[in-house]
């Protein structure tokens, strides 16, 4: 039996609607909250052109495909003066037109949530060791590094600072680093204090479904846009749909063969269930075309500028 999830008024402005309002995408159409992606692979935001034989043509309308920039995007971090996962990179992500800012949450020894990707801070900062073994005061004495290893003026950011700076700018897609999911209630209390429900979605592995189901059973308010589960088969899609009915899912893809028939079928299946589907932008541009044709509407990528150029090229092709 499907559970009734507690809700609060703060969730009225959903994360997907926030994207639509900020970027004028065509996601917030009438009835979207009940059925965000129809069974024809997202005709409300994109349509696949069909040739005379009934097969999908090469050109695909992509005005609804969004980019999730890995750690906000860092291809030109030094030129932008915006290291990965820095506060400065929030505005940089917005300026470059990347709809989602993928980021990473860790917890300090004294209970603060910080934005750090690696198991240690060695590569990202002038310090050394694990963020979980340091206090926030210690972390704040350090400087962020650019990708080439040179030192920047920027400091390690907290989740609180991210929520403040990112409000009405970007949608954060946050990964909870190992062990942080046990503090999810505290994270949500912080999100509530900053009234940032519409600005963040948490990407979580399917293996943690029982944990998050327990959170909602115990009264933690959930919205459809709170979680993005990473799924690998139809059973997982069905289970997530029944227990959480989220707006978005990530379909896991192979690095070597991302657009194989099994993956494309799973994407179509998830789309038919009403999900907005994300995948990693693995493979070639031809793979990306096939993924879009199957129903993918969000690409997670560490090369967002390349993806943006590809999507623009597709727009040009469609206009011809």
CA 281, 284, 287, 293 dihedral sign is positive
For residue 155, with 0-12 CB atoms within 10 Å meaning exposed, 13-18 middle and 19 or more buried, which class applies?
A: middle
Q: What pLDDT does residue 222 have?
A: 87
Give the domain ranges of the chain.
12-27+37-101+170-177+197-319
Number of neighbours of residue 95 by Cβ within 10 angstroms: 11
Q: What pLDDT does residue 63 have?
A: 56
Can you tell me the distance from the alpha carbon of 127 to that of 143, in angstroms, rounded to the nearest whole number?
8
Percent of the chain with pLDDT over 70: 80
Can you tell me the distance from the alpha carbon of 246 to that of 145, in angstroms, rounded to the nearest whole number?
36
Architecture of domain 12-27+37-101+170-177+197-319: Alpha-Beta Barrel (3.20)
Per-residue pLDDT reduced to its tens digit, 224-283: 999 999 999 999 999 999 999 999 999 999 999 999 999 999 999 999 999 999 999 999
Nearest to 299 by CA among 82, 46, 7, 17: 46
């Amino acid at each position: 039996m499907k559970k009734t999830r507690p809700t609060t008024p703060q969730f009225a402005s959903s994360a997907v609607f926030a994207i639509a309002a900020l970027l004028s995408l065509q996601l917030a159409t009438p009835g979207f909250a009940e059925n965000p992606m129809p069974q024809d692979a997202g005709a409300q935001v994109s349509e696949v052109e069909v040739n005379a034989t009934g097969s999908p043509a090469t050109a695909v309308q992509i005005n609804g495909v969004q980019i999730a920039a890995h750690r906000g995007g860092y291809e030109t971090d030094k030129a932008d003066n915006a290291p990965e996962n820095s506060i400065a990179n929030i505005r940089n992500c917005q300026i470059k037109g990347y709809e989602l800012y993928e980021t990473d949450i860790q917890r300090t020894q004294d209970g603060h949530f910080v934005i750090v990707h690696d198991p240690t801070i060695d590569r990202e900062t002038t310090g050394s060791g694990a963020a979980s073994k340091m206090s926030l005061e210690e972390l704040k004495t350090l400087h962020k590094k650019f990708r080439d290893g040179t030192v920047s003026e920027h400091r390690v950011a907290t989740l609180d600072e991210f929520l403040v700076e990112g409000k009405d700018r970007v949608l954060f897609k946050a990964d909870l680093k190992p062990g942080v999911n046990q503090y999810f209630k505290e994270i949500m209390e912080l999100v509530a204090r900053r009234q940032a429900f519409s600005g963040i979605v948490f990407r979580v592995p399917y293996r943690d479904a029982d944990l998050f189901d327990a959170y909602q059973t115990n009264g933690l308010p959930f919205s459809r846009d709170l979680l993005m589960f990473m799924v690998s088969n139809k059973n997982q899609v069905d289970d997530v749909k029944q227990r959480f009915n989220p707006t978005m899912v990530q379909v896991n893809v192979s690095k070597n063969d991302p657009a194989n028939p099994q993956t494309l079928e799973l994407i179509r299946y998830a789309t038919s269930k009403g999900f907005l589907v994300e995948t990693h932008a693995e493979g070639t541009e031809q793979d990306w075309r096939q993924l879009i044709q199957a129903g993918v509407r969000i690409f997670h990528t560490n090369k967002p500028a390349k993806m943006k150029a590809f999507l623009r090229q597709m727009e040009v092709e469609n206009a011809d």
